[in-house]
Amino acid sequence: MKLYLTPHACSLAADIVAREASIPLERVWVDVRAKRLKDGSDYHLINPKGQVPALQTDDGQFLSEGGVIIQYLCDGHGADGLLPGALGMERYRVLEWLSFISSELHKGFTPLFRATTPPEYRAIAIDNLSKRLAWLDAVLQTRDYLVQGHFTAADAYCYTIVMWSDLHDIDLSGWPHLSAYLQRIADRSSVRAALAAEREEIASRAKA
């Protein structure tokens, strides 16, 4: 399998999940602004939407959308600890969190990445995000992880998106439970390895 990804993107979540489950795959770095791979080929040929992540499966098909890729990786490799395979409430709780992160957090950050977003709307977007982050902090006051008391795929996704706060100067110090949660996730070997790979790619681009 091949995972198409780029630094500082939501593709980090899929990479963390793959590393957590020891899933062998090739990581292919994408210049999402130019929509090009390192060999100069058009990334639209992989994902017509031009976004990461994308996954090429072993039979040559392509999947897009991070939440779906995470589910595919977990379901196809028996990663029940990350996403329970049985059709019960434990599975649906993880999926519930994945949906919330995608719709309320991931999309909430999207305007902040656009250079064309007016300053007044940026302020509105940050205010909306702050309300959701405050709610998340309250939830984490009574638990170490989002579901089941242990790390799941939802935590990989949540960490990836909330850490975008650093890119947009959103101060998390007012939410101590959320900050402690992010540190717990950051201490995992899978996360450290995924972030190290991103830093290596960033350094490689700087030299090019």
pLDDT tens sequence across 1-14: 999 999 999 999 99
Same-domain pairing of 202 and 113:
no
What predicted TM-score, i.e. pTM, was given to this entire model? 0.97
**Domain with 125 in it: what CATH number?**
1.20.1050.10
* Residue 208's pLDDT band (cuts 50, 70, 90): confident
Whole-number percent of the chain with pLDDT over 70 = 100
Report d(CA 196, CA 202) in Å as an integer. Answer: 10
For residue 178, pLDDT over 80 is answered with yes
pLDDT tens sequence across 120-176: 999 999 999 999 999 999 999 999 999 979 999 999 999 999 999 999 999 999 999
Same-domain pairing of 119 and 49:
no
Same-domain pairing of 27 and 115:
no
pLDDT tens sequence across 26-45: 999 999 999 999 999 999 99
* Full domain range(s) for residue 20: 2-81+190-207
